[in-house]
Chains A and B, each alone.
Chain A
Amino acid sequence: MEGALVLAQGVTDEGIKSLAHGLVYGLAAIGPGVGIGLVFASAIEATARQPEMAGQIRTTMFLGFALIEALALIGFVLAFIA
């Protein structure tokens, strides 16, 4: 109980702010992290199944990668401007 009190006294507005900045990016990275993993996994699988389609798959893969990545990066920018 006393420890929690000491902890609570150490909490400042500034500290909460830094914590929030970190959390904004951290939380924003969860979904896109899984999404980008899926995109690359599927692209590798598809290329292994049909190597002759590798060029077209790579194009589509980067497209999907870019669209998903934007979500994480919006979180990154938000952490800076917030």
Chain B
Amino acid sequence: MELDVNHLFFWDAIAFEGTPFAINRTVIMMMWASLLCVWFFWAGARKKGIVPKGLQTIAESAYLFVRNQIAIDVIGPKDGPKYANYLASVFFFIFFSNLLEIFPGINYPVTSRMAIPFMLAILTYLIFNFVGFKKQGFKYLTGTLFPPGVPWPIYILLTPIEFFSVFVIRPLTLMIRLLANMMAGHVLLTIFFLFTHEFLVTDLSFRAPLGVVTMIVAAGLIVFELMVIAIQAYIFTMLTAFYIAESIHGHGEEDHSVDTQHTEPTENRVLTEAA
């Protein structure tokens, strides 16, 4: 069987070639993921019952998970709900884009191409910097680069490190983490599917038992990838929330009194909202 490894990384444009709006397989799959995302919440919110039923239960608890477990728990009960919209959008877009990795017939996570994690990371980068300047003014920059409570000679060492870790490493790792995880999973699944196909279909011979082994491993890997998909969406969203929280509260100021205060009321809030 002929195998073009480059298809793992590059796709030719299908339409509008040469313009900035060129469409290739990645773009089509991204649209499909977005449609899936929109359909999920549209179908969930179509019949607004006081007692949620069916898809509404899933959609509501999924949104409330992002809102309570990520937005409110990380950013805080006062500012958290404001950013829940963005966090939920990012979470579900990444989740459904990643889900295409194990979607039968597609098997292609769009987040394994640099463009999509890049755009998401840039968006997060702009938002947390904008929020920092809006909430703290110029103190955001000085507070980040010159954290208080340190003797001044340390700044010679600390300021470049802080600059790199906040303004360079943060968006870079945010996109590379998502990209590399999905790419690794994609390559892994592709290799096992190809082996299975080669040993059991194309070239059926004494190697067939090997094909059975790769098939079983591939089935297990799909479950493993499902876990990775959910964890990566969660991590991207949580880091976004964490960066926004740091921009709001200032560097290293997340005191524990706030954290312990709102861990318990979160449960009550869910109940009162659902009722």
Residues in chain A within 8 A of chain B (CB atoms):
55-56, 59, 62-63, 65-67, 69-70, 73-74, 76-77, 80
Contact = CB atoms under 8 A, between A and B. Distances in A.
B176 A70 contact: yes
A78 to B, nearest CB: 10
B259 interface: yes
Given A55-B263, A56-B259, A56-B263, A77 B235 contact: no
B235 A62 contact: yes
B177 A69 contact: yes
B231 interface: yes
Contacts of B235: 62, 65-66
A74 B173 CA distance: 8
Contacts of A70: 173, 176-177
A68 B109 CA distance: 23
A56 B180 CA distance: 27
Contact of B177 (A59, A63, A66, A80): A66
A63 B69 CA distance: 13
Given A55-B69, A59-B69, A69-B177, 11 more contacts: A55-B73, A62-B231, A62-B238, A63-B238, A66-B177, A66-B235, A70-B176, A73-B180, A73-B184, A74-B176, A76-B184
B190 to A, nearest CB: 14
Contacts of A73: 176-177, 180-181, 184
Interface residues of B, number: 19
A55 B180 CA distance: 27
A67 B234 CA distance: 13
Interface string B72-93: 0110000000000000000000
Nearest to B165: A67
B189 interface: no
12 contacts: A56-B263, A59-B74, A59-B238, A62-B234, A62-B238, A63-B238, A65-B235, A69-B177, A70-B177, A73-B176, A74-B180, A76-B183
Contacts of A63: 238-239, 242
